[in-house]
């Protein structure tokens, strides 16, 4: 069974940092582009970032560019999101998701994790 | 990148059909066939329902269908059932190599 399991969420002060992880199983990890999508409390979905299967190509939403870094470890089947300079507006459930093939951003997301909550507050 | 425009809410009775629209621009919805639709029940992760405008993943009911005309994509649900009550989001690739979701539509089955 294809599964994604996020971890690393929690409470952090404005200006702080947090690193999210997403452990994958049930598929050949390095063959697929992966994404982070977030959802603020009571709000809609927001695309955050994509990374290619090899990890050499990344894309970011303008709202996080320069503050967030997506990466992956294909030897450990794990996706990461390093979040720096956090703001109150970054408060959200963060989902990792798998693209249906190797194409970043344009392909649909056919597998989603259950999400991890990040709260930015003093 | 502004969110795609969806109606905040739609409703229908069991057995009826409803359509949810998703309006963007020529730089996203109108420029690419990379439009997908997601269903989200409260407290749950989103689920892919339609991809590449009108394709259904394996396991998704054929009561769900998608289409596109110009800068507007649409999701139609026929034969409404109680379990269809959920939030629905459209998504599109953009000319900036980014992704953008719609604001979401709450479907109520009366």
Task: Give the pLDDT of residue A102.
Answer: 82
Cβ-defined contact of A44 to B36 (cutoff 8 Å): no
Q: Which residues of B touch A52 (CB under 8 A)?
A: none
Q: What is the number of alpha carbons within 13 Å of residue A109 lying toward its C-beta? A: 32
- Token digits for A50? 């994509």
Q: What is the pLDDT of residues B54-64, one digit of tens each?
A: 999 999 999 99
Q: What is the DSSP string of B12-46?
A: E-TT--EEEEEE--TTTGGG-S-EEEEEE-TTS--
Residue A37 Cα, gap to closest chain B Cα (Å): 10
Other CB atoms closer than 10 Å to residue B49's CB: what's the count? 22
Task: Give the pLDDT of residue A103.
Answer: 80
Q: In the A/B pair of chains, how many CB contacts fall below 8 A?
A: 66
Q: What is the pLDDT of residues A42-90, one digit of tens each?
A: 999 999 999 999 999 999 999 999 999 999 999 999 999 999 999 999 9
Q: Which of A117, A76, A115, A72 is nearest to A96 (CA)?
A: A115
Task: Give the pLDDT of residue A58.
Answer: 96
Determine contact: A63 vs chain B, CB below 8 A: no
Residues A31-42, mean pLDDT to the nearest whole number: 97
Q: What is the pLDDT of residues B83-102, one digit of tens each?
A: 999 999 999 999 999 999 99
Q: Check pLDDT > 90 for residue A36.
A: yes
Task: Give the pLDDT of residue A41.
Answer: 97
Distance CA B38, CA B50 (A): 7
Task: Give the pLDDT of residue A71.
Answer: 98
- Token digits for A71? 């990466």
Q: What is the pLDDT of residues B1-39, one digit of tens each?
A: 789 999 999 999 999 999 999 999 999 999 999 999 999
Give the rounded percent of residues in chain A with a pLDDT score beyond 90.
Answer: 95
Determine contact: A95 vs chain B, CB below 8 A: yes
């Amino acid at each position: 069974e294809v599964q994604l399991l996020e971890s690393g969420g929690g409470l952090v002060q404005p200006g702080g940092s947090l690193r999210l992880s997403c452990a994958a199983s049930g598929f050949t990890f390095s063959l697929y582009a992966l994404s982070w999508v977030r959802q603020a409390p009571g709000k809609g979905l927001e695309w955050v970032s994509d990374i290619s299967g090899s990890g050499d190509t990344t894309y970011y939403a303008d709202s996080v560019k320069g503050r967030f870094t997506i990466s992956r470890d294909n030897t450990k089947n794990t996706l990461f999101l390093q979040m720096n300079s956090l703001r109150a507006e970054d408060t959200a459930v963060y989902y990792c998701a798998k693209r249906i093939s190797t194409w970043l951003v344009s392909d649909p997301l056919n597998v989603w994790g259950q999400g991890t909550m990040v709260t930015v507050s003093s | 990148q502004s969110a795609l425009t969806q109606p905040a809410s739609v409703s229908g009775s069991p057995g009826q059909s409803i359509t949810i629209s998703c309006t963007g621009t020529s730089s996203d919805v109108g420029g690419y066939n990379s439009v997908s639709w997601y269903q989200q029940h409260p407290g749950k992760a989103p689920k892919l329902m339609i991809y590449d405008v009108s394709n259904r993943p394996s396991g998704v009911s054929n009561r769900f269908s998608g289409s596109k005309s110009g800068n507007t994509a649409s999701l139609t649900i026929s034969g409404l059932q109680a379990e269809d009550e959920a939030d629905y989001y459209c998504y599109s690739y953009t000319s900036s190599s980014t992704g953008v979701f719609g604001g979401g539509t709450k479907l109520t089955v009366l």
